[in-house]
Chain A
Amino acid sequence: MILTAYRVEMSKVFSKWRTFIGFLALAVLIPIVVAGMSMQGEQFFKFATSGLKDTFEFTGHLLNGYAVAYIIFSSLYLHVPFLITLVAGEVLAGEATAGTYRLVLTRPLSRATMVNAKYFATLTYTFLLVVCMAVLSLGLGIGFLGTGEVFIIRQQITVLQADDLLWRFAYAYAWAFLAMATVSSVAFLCSSLVENAIGPIMTTMSIIIVMTIISAIDVPLFDYVRPLFFTNHMNSWKFFFDDPVRWDRIGPSFLALMLHIIGCFVAAHIIIRRKDILT
């Protein structure tokens, strides 16, 4: 029954126009960035490394597909959640708004099955959006600009060779899926609480904005709350591009995101199973 319910949910998700907004946005934005980098990327890298020119001599092929994919990844990472909430925030509340809970829940499937099917459909959408981002960024980047080493300037400068990058991107995109699944789970929980589809979308967006801003402000007081924010742990993808990989930082973040996912999923289950369907 869960498989049937999942297929039904997937049919519904992919019959809605709003589902394709995210894919469309990525399909427009990523080619534009790659095209812009192809034409004037050298200037971008010159500007980015200008502060280090006196200390280091930069040789080699700085403008390449991996570098562009890295730039796209870090730029889009905090914007893709907004695209995800459009679908995840609506998945339960949309049934309440449309009055279609009455149709679905008078069928011989349990509420638990319905919630599972909807949740897995939401995760599938999230997964496909991350895959779309990966394929477009790496595919177009490497296709137009080839491969090469990547300079990463954070607390230290890391130079990663071309043959040392693909697996790091694989981990980073897997992490992106985990992070976006956390966003989906928060939106899913919000969606179970209300009967208006706009509410969960706006609430999830607001949570992400507030947490991101607080995380970015370097005040000692916020040091205590920062580890509690899932947005803080979403950023741990960067540690895959350290050499060596900072597993000591990735492990706790993985646990924190998993706890958020499981917590939201279980809470949504309890809420829906106890809910009186009055719409």
Chain B
Amino acid sequence: MAQPAIEIRDLYKRYGAFTAVNGLHLTVEQGDVYGFLGPNGAGKSTTIRMMMSLIAPSSGSIRIFGLDLKADRSSILRRIGAIVERPDFYNYLSARRNLELLGRLSGTDVSKAATDRVLGMVGLGARAESKVKTFSHGMKQRLGIAQALLHSPDLIVLDEPTTGLDPHGMVDMRDLILELAADHKKTIFLSSHILPEVELTANRMVIINRGQAIIEGAVQDLLNAGRLKVTIETPDAQRALELVRATPLGSHVHSSTETTLILMLERGEISDVVSMLSNAGIALLAVTPVRSLEDYFISLTREGA
């Protein structure tokens, strides 16, 4: 069996009395698109900086492709492409020149064809010769992806890659991540606080808060855990609300308006509620169950707060 792409064990990072990462433990298998979720300040970027050897852990171990980061730093970094936080470049150089210099430091091909290939992948082919100081934040973000892909790494670490991108850019980024995983067999470690991004791209994920993993698993399993958010559209929402409140499900009311009633229900409870409302003569225009990571994420991180 292949070595895990990333193994983090008992990882701590302390700054004086403040603990940014608090005994983090996670495993990312090769080929995974792994969502690394957490609210702002949860310790995501600190963890990524430790994975990229930008900061030293206070204790714990990080193994990448079976190699210890401390002992085999160079061999490991040869196999990783990363964006760490903001996409900052040498603003006085062109996009192509930035890639050439960074490519040389990675010991990779920096021919015009090679830089054209990655610039084309991120939609910056036409701006290859423009100085980076003329780029928007979104364009720098794209260039960040280009530099991460330049040396064809096996593991791609993306820290909030859609920040600053317009909706088209976000869709392009999502498609690119899926393509890299499916067609190029890359392992993707995707840090984000944008949950739909992870729902739509990742197969496994971890949610961290206050530097600790709260829950880890397959995205689909986590989506199927807990209650569904069921939106019932009806012209008589007030009466429906009163009826539900009179039953043991009354405590599961999430919210209501004049035309909608939102309940947090187990799958088996949906038909009970629908039957009860129908029998009471309430017209049901639509019943929409939604299993969202967002609610799950918020509930978990609130509990941890």
Contact residues of A with B, CB < 8 Å? Answer: 1, 4-5, 7-8, 11-12, 15-17, 98-110, 274, 276-278
Q: Which of B49, B86, B105 contacts A277 (CB 8 A)?
A: B49
Known: A7-B104, A12-B101, A277-B49. A100 touches B89 (CB 8 A): yes
| 4 closest cross-chain pairs (CB), A and B | A99-B88, A107-B105, A276-B55, A277-B54
CA distance A4 to B108 in the complex (A): 11
The interface centre, meaning the residue of A15, A103, A274 with most chain B CB atoms within 10 A of its CB, is A103
A-side contacts of B49, CB under 8 Å = 276-278
Q: Which of A1, A12, A16, A106 contacts B82 (CB 8 A)?
A: A106
B91 adjacent to A98 (CB under 8 Å): yes
Taking the closest CB of chain A, its distance from the CB of B211, in whole angstroms, is: 16
Known: A15-B92, A109-B74, A110-B73. A101 touches B105 (CB 8 A): no
Output the nearest chain B residue to A1 by Cβ-Cβ distance.
B107
A-side contacts of B73, CB under 8 Å = 108, 110
Interface string of B92-131 (1 = CB under 8 A from A): 1100010001101111000000000000000000000000
B-side contacts of A105, CB under 8 Å = 52-54
> Is residue B75 within 8 Å, beta carbon to beta carbon, of the partner chain?
yes
A-side contacts of B107, CB under 8 Å = 1, 4, 108
Interface size of B as a range: 20 to 34
B74 adjacent to A102 (CB under 8 Å): no
Taking the closest CB of chain B, its distance from the CB of A117, in whole angstroms, is: 9
A-side contacts of B53, CB under 8 Å = 105-106
Taking the closest CB of chain B, its distance from the CB of A29, in whole angstroms, is: 26
Chain B interface, DSSP helix/strand/loop, else mixed: loop
Q: Which of B75, B93, B106 contacts A15 (CB 8 A)?
A: B93
> Is residue B274 within 8 Å, beta carbon to beta carbon, of the partner chain?
no
B-side contacts of A12, CB under 8 Å = 90, 93, 101
Taking the closest CB of chain B, its distance from the CB of A148, in whole angstroms, is: 46
A276 adjacent to B56 (CB under 8 Å): yes
27 interchain pairs, CB-CB under 8 A? A4-B104, A4-B107, A7-B104, A8-B105, A11-B97, A15-B97, A17-B92, A98-B89, A98-B91, A100-B90, A101-B54, A102-B85, A103-B89, A103-B147, A104-B105, A105-B52, A106-B54, A106-B77, A108-B73, A108-B76, A108-B107, A109-B105, A276-B49, A276-B54, A276-B56, A277-B54, A278-B49
Output the nearest chain B residue to A103 by Cβ-Cβ distance.
B102
Chain A interface, DSSP helix/strand/loop, else mixed: loop
A-side contacts of B24, CB under 8 Å = none
B-side contacts of A98, CB under 8 Å = 88-91
Taking the closest CB of chain A, its distance from the CB of B38, in whole angstroms, is: 18
A-side contacts of B52, CB under 8 Å = 102, 105-106
> Is residue B33 within 8 Å, beta carbon to beta carbon, of the partner chain?
no
B104 adjacent to A278 (CB under 8 Å): no
Taking the closest CB of chain A, its distance from the CB of B182, in whole angstroms, is: 25
A-side contacts of B88, CB under 8 Å = 98-100, 102-103
CA distance A55 to B12 in the complex (A): 81
A-side contacts of B82, CB under 8 Å = 106
B78 adjacent to A106 (CB under 8 Å): no
B-side contacts of A110, CB under 8 Å = 73-74
CA distance A98 to B91 in the complex (A): 9
A-side contacts of B90, CB under 8 Å = 12, 15, 98, 100
CA distance A1 to B107 in the complex (A): 8
CA distance A161 to B201 in the complex (A): 81
> Is residue B80 within 8 Å, beta carbon to beta carbon, of the partner chain?
yes
A-side contacts of B76, CB under 8 Å = 108
> Is residue B21 within 8 Å, beta carbon to beta carbon, of the partner chain?
no
Taking the closest CB of chain A, its distance from the CB of B143, in whole angstroms, is: 11
A-side contacts of B75, CB under 8 Å = 108
Taking the closest CB of chain A, its distance from the CB of B94, in whole angstroms, is: 10
A108 adjacent to B104 (CB under 8 Å): no
A-side contacts of B147, CB under 8 Å = 103
A-side contacts of B74, CB under 8 Å = 108-110
Output the nearest chain B residue to A99 by Cβ-Cβ distance.
B88
Taking the closest CB of chain B, its distance from the CB of A226, in whole angstroms, is: 41
A11 adjacent to B55 (CB under 8 Å): no
CA distance A121 to B190 in the complex (A): 36
A106 adjacent to B84 (CB under 8 Å): yes
CA distance A11 to B55 in the complex (A): 27
Output the nearest chain B residue to A109 by Cβ-Cβ distance.
B105
A16 adjacent to B102 (CB under 8 Å): no
Taking the closest CB of chain B, its distance from the CB of A64, in whole angstroms, is: 43
B55 adjacent to A107 (CB under 8 Å): no
Interface string of B36-70 (1 = CB under 8 A from A): 00000000000001001111100000000000000
| Inter-chain pairs besides A98-B89, A109-B105, A278-B49, 20 sampled, C-beta below 8 Å | A4-B104, A4-B105, A8-B101, A12-B90, A12-B93, A15-B92, A99-B85, A100-B89, A103-B102, A103-B147, A104-B102, A106-B52, A106-B53, A106-B54, A107-B102, A108-B77, A109-B74, A110-B73, A274-B56, A276-B54
Taking the closest CB of chain B, its distance from the CB of A178, in whole angstroms, is: 31
Known: A16-B92, A108-B77. A277 touches B55 (CB 8 A): yes
Taking the closest CB of chain A, its distance from the CB of B33, in whole angstroms, is: 20
Interface string of B129-155 (1 = CB under 8 A from A): 000000000000000000100000000
CA distance A99 to B147 in the complex (A): 15
CA distance A100 to B54 in the complex (A): 12
